[in-house]
Structure 1
Amino acid sequence: MKEKLLTYFEVKKLNTTVRREVLAGFTTFISMAYILFVNPSVLGASGMDTGAVFTATALASAIGCILMGILARLPIATAPALGINAFFSYSVCIGMGVSWQTALAAVFVASLIFILITVFKLREMIIDAIPRDLKFAISGGIGLFIAFLGLSEGGLIVNNDSTLVGLGSFTQNNTWLTVFGLLITAILVVRRVPGGIFVGMLATTTLGILTGVIALPSAIVSSVPSLAPTFMVAVNHVKDINSLQMWVVVLTFLLVTFFDTAGTLVGLGNQAGLMKDNKMPRVGKALAADSTAMLAGSLLGTSPVGAYVESSAGIAVGGRSGITAITTGLFFVLSLFFSPLLSVVTSQVTAPALIIVGVLMAQSLKEIKWNQLEIAIPSFLILIGMPLTYSISDGIALGFIFYPVTMLAAKRGREVSPIMYILFFVFIGFMWILNVK
């Protein structure tokens, strides 16, 4: 039985070990565990019960991770996506005055459309049609994006009204904890210490507790919050999707989640060295797992679920198979009972890991043909667009709109696949939707 499982997950073929995969899964979980607290806070602004959202977040994440590991056998974790949850609360519920119940129904409808697109393999065709150079740009862009996330969450970069962003304050203990974590993690990675990123996170947490920057939890085990306030509410409000405004909301959930997930899958696939002939293995099953998790999340009571860029932390530790994702999913299940313990994993602990992983992912940029401007321009727009718009999908949109134009200008229009021409118009429409929402 053990040998069959090892063969199924291609452990030897991928030159990994079960121990390494489990460590990678735990590292990924630690890197994204913040969503268990951030998502209830964001969705709570819409009027949703934060306890129910906490439970829904953990369960939806676990379902997605375990399905990704078993079906697609990829080391990629899923959870309710950041950004789209803010759109859910602040744009749809607060801005448009839509009830959270109706907004949840919109997520449910979008997830059903997602599944249909996946069944007919349209999502897989789109991912395979993305040119090799743009895939490397997506990978590098995600690297810059998560490094920017780490820098901002760790206090090294802050908002500046004069220059948009600026250097953070070094009079804050939180900032110095991030600096310590970044230094120790960088040293460990340069020295090629196994699990260096994870060890760096442990060292940062320990120092934070010893110095009082990170407070010890008041308890270790807690009861699981009830799902009753949000469970199956979406189904009862599907009838409220009866206006042009609400269909714009559905399309926005659909487009943002699709291209965020597609871009993340491509980027992480490149980082893990899993891409073969410009194609990602078992991408159809990965998309099926993602779609199913999104559907489950809407029924449980949370915003759209998607692949998480923080999976790159586990990949950097050595995760290569579905065992990594399954491990992450199991820790999400366990987190239901140990939520107070997770409070020690602050943004200062995860920030150094995100920054270092950003460096690792940016290495893919060397594969782009920078000497060909028709490729360099859209690639650069993807690369710079992701961190500056604070959105993976917006960065992809900029590059995908310019790619057919620059290729036509270079008289290479015949090299552009029909799907990329279709995506040109899709993203033009996507930008319009974002401006009218």
Structure 2
Amino acid sequence: MRSFLNNYFNIKAQGSTISREIIAGMTTFATMAYIIIVNPKILEAAGLPFGPSMVATIISAVFGTMAMGLYAKRPFAVAPYMGENAFIAFTVVKVMGHTWQTALGAIFIGGTLFIIFTVTGIRSWLIRAIPKNLKNAFVVGIGLFLAFIGLNTTGIVTIGVPGAPVHIGDLTSPTVLLALGCFFLTTILMVRKVNGALIIGIIATSAAAISMGIINVPATYVSMPPSLKPILFKLDIMGALNWGFISVILTVFVLDFLDTMGTIYAVSHRAGLLDENGDLPQIEKPLLVDAATTVFASLLGTTTTGVFVESATGIEAGGRTGLTAVTTALLFLAALFLAPVLTVIPACAYGPSLIVVGMLMMAPCKELELHDISELVPAFLVIILMSFTYNLGIGMTAGFIAYPLMKIVTGKTSEISIGLWILCALSVLFFIACPH
């Protein structure tokens, strides 16, 4: 078995080991297990029943992450996106008044378009058209976004008031103190070059939270999953195929396209998987997995899926091959029956790992062309808007619009590729049509 795994995933050639890949997969799962509860809770606001929605969330994560490991052979985890689920629940259903069935139909259409764009090579062509400086800005912006999520979920930084939207949390709170302790424990272990520093920090902090009575050990460890029948194949594709729904389809399409593109590049950069041109070899495979999983998820009854930015935690733990993703997928599969246990990991345990990884993703700052204002402005907008709008897609679209604009006013239009012009036009259309 060991020989098969090494050969199939080419583990040794990537400078990794089987044990390191498994630990990395566990780390990724631990930092994103919250999606098992959070995604169905958000979609519950749109009328989807919690139990079946939880099952759809898990199965889509198993399908996408397993395919990413076995077919694309990348250490990326796939699950329903945060942000897109809130857009469907609160904007499309609650504000615009559409049914969740029609919203799922729009997701199916978007996923189908992605499959076409991927198979024809259009999607990878557009990604290769992005300037290196913008790609580096994506990494830095996503790093700050991750760090902000970690700071907020742990309570170290909390929501403030008008005029001061964020402020320091309650530093006397046991959970905040545990989160700070977890952050320093993890970083100390990393300084000491201890393998599995992130997962050790998560496990140690979870144990401490249980011993302090902050979280409770579940009464039962195993439970049968609820039936998927109430939402399975309930999407309304024909209802989404009307002119009044075009803004929703466009928004779903653009957000998924940009989130996946930015996340794949950012985590690949951290893993050292990019080539000398800053591109990911055979990028069509992970893109196709992303697109197919979105279609599959809509049939199950859940929202847009894609590569999770939390994959960076597994990569930081040493994950370099598809075995990392397979490990994460198997843990999601176990979650169908072990949800009471696997969902008790508190934010004070997994949040600090997001802060640590966000910190490490600041490395490309030294590669940003800060001396050239035509490069600095779009990179700056990408970085700040990703975090300050809490939306990766907004930051990326702002960068795609600002880059050609700055090149035009500085007389450097020759540096704008055809693909970037298309991304700029798509971004402008997004801001016009998007139901903000």
Q: TM-score, normalised by structure 1?
A: 0.97
Describe how 1:347-386 pairs up with structure 2 within 5 A: 347-386=347-386
**Residue in structure 1 matched with residue 252 of structure 2 by the alignment:** 253
The answer to whether the 8 Å contact 1:186/1:356 transfers is: yes
2:179 — aligned with what? 178
Amino acid at match of 2:396: I
* 2: CA distance, partners of 1:425 / 1:295: 26
Q: Describe how 1:326-345 pairs up with structure 2 within 5 A.
A: 326-345=326-345
Corresponding residue pairs, total: 434
Q: Distance in 2 between matches of 1:242 and 1:304?
A: 18
| Counterpart check, 1:216 vs 2:228 | no
After superposition, what is the alpha-carbon deviation per residue over 1:235-259, rounded to whole angstroms, capped at 9, x for unaligned? xx21212432312111111111111
Give the AA of the match of 1:205: S
Question: 1:76-95 alignment to 2 at 5 Å?
Answer: 76-95=76-95
| Cα separation, 2, equivalents of 1:242 and 1:410 | 43
Q: Secondary structure at the match of 1:166?
A: strand
Q: Deviations along 1:393-434, whole A, 9 cap, x unmatched?
A: 111111111111222233222122111112111111111122
Indicate the residue corresponding to 2:190 in structure 1.
189
Q: How many angstroms does 1:8 deviate by? A: 3.4
Q: CA RMSD in A?
A: 1.3
- Letter of the 1:325 partner, please give it: A
Q: Match for 2:285: what amino acid?
A: K
The CA distance in 1 between the partners of 2:425 and 2:393, in whole Å, is 15
> 1:13 offset after TM fit, Å?
1.3
In the superposition, the TM-score normalised over structure 2's length comes to 0.97
Range that drifts further, 187-196 or 134-143: 187-196
How far 1:363 moved relative to its partner? 0.9
The residue that corresponds to 1:410 in the other structure is 410
Tell me how far 1:221 sits from its aligned partner.
0.5
Which structure 2 residues correspond to residues 22-171 of structure 1 after superposition, within 5 A?
22-161=22-161, 162-171=163-172
Distance (whole Å) between structure 2 residues aligned to residue 395 and residue 308 of structure 1: 17
C-alpha distance in structure 2 between counterparts of 1:152 and 1:306, whole Å: 23
Provide the rounded CA distance (Å) in 1 between the counterparts of 2:68 and 2:241.
Answer: 33
Per the TM alignment, residue 147 of structure 1 is displaced from its structure 2 partner at its CA by 0.3
> Which segments of 5 or more consecutive residues in structure 1 lack a partner in the other structure?
none
Q: Which amino acid aligns with 1:179?
A: L
* C-alpha contact 2:33 2:343 (8 A) present in aligned 1: no
Shift of 1:2: 5.3
Contact persistence 2:36–2:343 (CA under 8 A) = no
For residue 33 of structure 2, what is the amino acid of its counterpart?
Answer: A
Give, in angstroms, the shift of residue 202 of structure 1: 1.0
Q: CA deviation at 1:383?
A: 1.2
- In structure 2, the partner of 1:268 is 267
Distance in 2, matches of 1:216 and 1:324, equals 28
**8 Å contact from structure 1 (residues 217, 340) kept in 2:** yes
> Which residue of structure 2 lines up, in the alignment, with residue 230 of structure 1?
231
**Comparing 309-318 and 133-142, the one that deviates more:** 133-142
Structure 2 residue 304 is the aligned partner of structure 1 residue 307: no
Tell whether the 8 Å contact from 1:217 to 1:343 is kept in structure 2 after alignment.
no
Structure 2: gaps of 5 or more residues: none
What CA deviation, in whole Å up to 9, does each residue of 1:28-79 have, x standing for no partner? 0111000000001000111111100110000001111111112211111110
Q: Which moved more, 1:3-12 or 1:280-289?
A: 3-12
Read off the aligned partner of 1:227 and give its amino acid letter.
L
Matches of 1:102 and 1:241, distance apart in 2: 5
Distance of 2:341 and 2:77 partners within structure 1: 21
In structure 1, what residue type is equivalent to 2:220? A
**Letter of the structure 1 residue corresponding to residue 409 of structure 2:** A
- What is the rounded CA distance, in whole Å, between the counterparts of 1:116 and 1:160 in structure 2? 44
CA contact (8 A) 1:20 1:319 kept: yes
Q: Secondary structure at the match of 2:97?
A: coil
Distance 1:340 1:4, change over 3 A: closer
Instruction: Specify the alignment match of 1:204 in structure 2.
Output: 205
Counterpart amino acid of residue 121 in structure 1: G
Asked whether the equivalents of residues 386 and 393 of structure 1 are also in contact (C-alpha less than 8 Å), the reply is yes
Q: Give distance in 2, aligned partners of 1:31 and 1:416.
A: 38
Task: Name the SS for the 1:25 alignment partner.
Answer: helix
Q: Which amino acid aligns with 1:279?
A: D
State the alpha-carbon separation in 2 of the partners of residues 17 and 62 from structure 1: 23
Cα distance in 1, alignment partners of residues 415 and 245 from structure 2: 38
CA separation in 1, counterparts of 2:391 and 2:122?
23
Q: Give the letter aligned to residue 51 of structure 1.
A: G
Cα distance in 2, alignment partners of residues 28 and 35 from structure 1: 12
